[in-house]
């Protein structure tokens, strides 16, 4: 038997605070710190609590070269090696781990791989989580509990040394940006026209041109992307679009077409919508969600194990979101983006493997409701005029 360590593994000394029982029996109530070793692997959703002996063993085996198992077991003990094998932190040559192979073959930077895997949410309800962690999330209690926030701008020189700049003249684009407000109030009774959905998909996510450069197929879109690779694709949860059945779809960016993935009835679609955005009810009435999903190998094929590759993919999602916001605003629609999403739930619904096709954010758009029930940040009063 030969073995090796999994490809991407972070070992963290995790500290938790707990009641000191011995002190309680002595008549004193106090907390104490407890530190445990935790192993976070890029091919596992859960973390593994490790003993000192297991941490030592992991530090003495390669993730690339195969190690003779008999010698390794003799040195570290059968129980240690068996537990590491059972938890997928070690693999044997004759029974390689399929999940680890996906990460290994995907050319991930190791730290980025672990971060992507373990910062995803599954079955999270933001309402319950916020209340449990911080209590009332309205601003006055937050200020009392957390203290004042950092200032909006951190000055770097004295005010007298600042160089004033001329004000720009107002343009149509300026007026458009003034109306760009995250929508939290969608009209549940007004479906989106299919033509309007098609316009947003084509203008934001569609390929304007394709080209082969020295044998590499590249795309020209409305937004920039590292190497012209455009790895972030649009997957849709459609609920209320005229002429389009509710369901899950993938947008084919070069053919400008929707690929049906799974039909949904209205109740299923509503349930998925709320779970996708982790219980954020103010987004749940949007008639269309667009999930920004990265095909990591499209980027990592070129930028193999690169420390900046994952960051470049995240930037792509931001570019697409802003383009979608601007176009939706121009069309008279409200739009949103949220990172508070249940990526695990979305992956299961769409049939995605997170280290191949990773959910980065959920966006959406639709007609605004006639009344602001949930507060929207509109300081310019461009969308919601001040009451008379």
Give the tens place of pLDDT for each residue, 264-287. Answer: 999 999 999 999 999 999 999 999
Using an 8 Å Cβ cutoff, are 211 and 161 in contact?
A: no
pLDDT value of position 136: 53
Q: Please indicate, yes or no, whether residues 193 and 69 belong to a single structural domain of this protein.
A: no
Query: CA 284, 248, 229, 10: dihedral to nearest 10 degrees?
Result: 70
Q: Please indicate, yes or no, whether residues 308 and 205 belong to a single structural domain of this protein.
A: yes
Residue 295 belongs to domain spanning: 177-366
For the chain, the average pLDDT equals 94
Q: Which residues contact 145 (CB under 8 A, 6 or more apart)?
A: 134, 135
Q: Of 105, 120, 149, which one is at a domain's C-terminal end?
A: 105
pLDDT value of position 130: 58
Phi, psi of 379 (to 5 degrees): -65, -25
pLDDT value of position 24: 72
pLDDT value of position 140: 80
Per the structure, the count of domains in the chain is 2
Beta-ladder partners of 336: 364
Q: Of 105, 135, 165, which one is at a domain's C-terminal end?
A: 105
CATH of the domain at 278: 3.40.109.10
Q: Is residue 113 part of a domain?
A: no
Q: Please indicate, yes or no, whether residues 60 and 198 belong to a single structural domain of this protein.
A: no
Of the chain, the end-to-end C-alpha distance in Å amounts to 79
Q: Is residue 327 part of a domain?
A: yes
Q: Please indicate, yes or no, whether residues 83 and 198 belong to a single structural domain of this protein.
A: no
Distance, in Å, from the CA atom of 67 to the CA atom of 64, rounded to the nearest integer, reads: 9
Q: Is residue 224 part of a domain?
A: yes
Q: Which residues contact 272 (CB under 8 A, 6 or more apart)?
A: 237, 264, 345, 349
Distance, in Å, from the CA atom of 284 to the CA atom of 278, rounded to the nearest integer, reads: 10
Query: pLDDT above 90 covers what percent of the chain?
Result: 87
Q: List, edge to edge, every strand of the sheet that includes 247-252.
A: 257-263, 247-252, 232-238, 288-295, 357-366, 334-338
Return the half-sphere exposure (C-beta side, CA atoms, 13 A cut-off) of residue 110. Answer: 11
SS3 161: helix
Token duo for residue 143: 């200020």
Residue-wise pLDDT tens digits, 210-260: 999 999 999 999 999 999 999 999 999 999 999 999 999 999 999 999 999
Distance, in Å, from the CA atom of 257 to the CA atom of 241, rounded to the nearest integer, reads: 15
pLDDT value of position 354: 97
Q: Is residue 72 part of a domain?
A: yes
- Using the structure block, give the residue that is written with the tokens 């959905």: 197
Return the half-sphere exposure (C-beta side, CA atoms, 13 A cut-off) of residue 223. Answer: 26
pLDDT value of position 133: 46
Give the distance, in angstroms, between the CA of residue 368 and the centroid of all CA atoms in the same chain: 25
Using an 8 Å Cβ cutoff, are 114 and 8 in contact?
A: yes
Token duo for residue 292: 């920004």
Q: Is residue 136 part of a domain?
A: no
Distance, in Å, from the CA atom of 367 to the CA atom of 190, rounded to the nearest integer, reads: 7
Beta-ladder partners of 19: 31
pLDDT value of position 47: 96
Q: Please indicate, yes or no, whether residues 91 and 219 belong to a single structural domain of this protein.
A: no
Q: Is residue 158 part of a domain?
A: no
Return the half-sphere exposure (C-beta side, CA atoms, 13 A cut-off) of residue 200. Answer: 30
Token duo for residue 286: 């949007």
Q: Please indicate, yes or no, whether residues 101 and 181 belong to a single structural domain of this protein.
A: no
Q: Is residue 293 part of a domain?
A: yes
pLDDT value of position 317: 98
Orientation of helix 78-86 relative to helix 69-76, angle to 10°: 120
Using an 8 Å Cβ cutoff, are 253 and 203 in contact?
A: no
Q: Please indicate, yes or no, whether residues 222 and 327 belong to a single structural domain of this protein.
A: yes
Q: Of 72, 105, 138, which one is at a domain's C-terminal end?
A: 105
Using an 8 Å Cβ cutoff, are 263 and 254 in contact?
A: no
Q: Please indicate, yes or no, whether residues 305 and 219 belong to a single structural domain of this protein.
A: yes
pLDDT value of position 138: 67
Q: Please indicate, yes or no, whether residues 82 and 184 belong to a single structural domain of this protein.
A: no
Q: Is residue 240 part of a domain?
A: yes
Q: Please indicate, yes or no, whether residues 255 and 352 belong to a single structural domain of this protein.
A: yes
Phi, psi of 24 (to 5 degrees): -60, -45
Q: Give every residue of the chain whose pLDDT is below 50, as ranges.
A: 133-134
Q: Please indicate, yes or no, whether residues 82 and 192 belong to a single structural domain of this protein.
A: no
Q: Please indicate, yes or no, whether residues 78 and 207 belong to a single structural domain of this protein.
A: no
Token duo for residue 121: 């949410």
pLDDT value of position 135: 52
Instruction: Name which of 324, 264, 266, 270 is nearest 292 in CA terms.
Output: 324
174 burial (CB, 10 Å; 0-12 / 13-18 / 19+) is exposed
């Amino acid at each position: 038997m030969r073995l090796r360590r999994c490809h991407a593994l972070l070992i963290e000394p995790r500290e938790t605070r707990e009641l000191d029982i011995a002190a309680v029996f002595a008549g004193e109530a106090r907390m104490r710190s407890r530190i445990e070793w935790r192993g976070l692997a890029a091919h596992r959703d859960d973390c593994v609590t490790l003993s000192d002996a297991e941490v030592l063993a992991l530090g003495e085996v390669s993730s690339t070269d195969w190690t003779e198992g008999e010698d390794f077991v003799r040195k570290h003990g059968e129980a240690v090696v068996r537990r590491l094998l059972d938890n997928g932190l070690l693999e044997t040559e004759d029974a390689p781990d399929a999940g680890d192979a996906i990460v290994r073959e995907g050319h991930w930077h190791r730290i980025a791989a672990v971060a992507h895997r373990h910062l995803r949410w599954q079955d999270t309800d933001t309402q319950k989580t916020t209340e449990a962690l911080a209590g009332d999330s309205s601003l006055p209690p937050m200020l009392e509990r957390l203290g004042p926030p950092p200032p909006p701008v951190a000055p770097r020189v004295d005010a007298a040394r600042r160089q004033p700049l001329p004000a720009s003249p107002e343009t149509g684009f300026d007026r458009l940006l003034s109306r760009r407000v995250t929508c939290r109030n969608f009209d549940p009774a007004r479906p989106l026209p299919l033509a309007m959905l098609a316009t947003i998909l084509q203008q934001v996510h569609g390929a304007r041109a394709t080209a082969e450069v020295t044998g590499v197929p590249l795309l020209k879109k409305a937004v920039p992307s590292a190497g012209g690779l455009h790895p972030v694709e649009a997957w849709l949860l459609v609920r209320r679009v005229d002429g389009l059945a509710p369901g899950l779809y993938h947008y084919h960016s070069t053919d400008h077409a929707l690929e049906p993935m799974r039909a949904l009835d209205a109740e299923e679609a509503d349930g998925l919508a709320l779970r996708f955005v982790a219980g954020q009810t103010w987004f749940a009435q949007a008639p269309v969600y667009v999930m920004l999903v990265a095909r990591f190998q499209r980027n990592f094929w070129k930028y193999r194990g690169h420390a900046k590759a994952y960051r470049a993919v995240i930037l792509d999602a931001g570019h697409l979101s802003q383009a979608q916001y601007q176009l939706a605003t121009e069309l008279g629609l409200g739009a949103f983006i949220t990172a508070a999403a249940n990526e695990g739930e979305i992956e299961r619904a769409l049939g995605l493997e997170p280290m191949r096709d990773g959910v980065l954010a959920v966006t959406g758009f639709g007609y605004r409701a006639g009344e602001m029930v949930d507060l929207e940040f509109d300081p310019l009063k461009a969308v919601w005029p001040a009451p008379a």
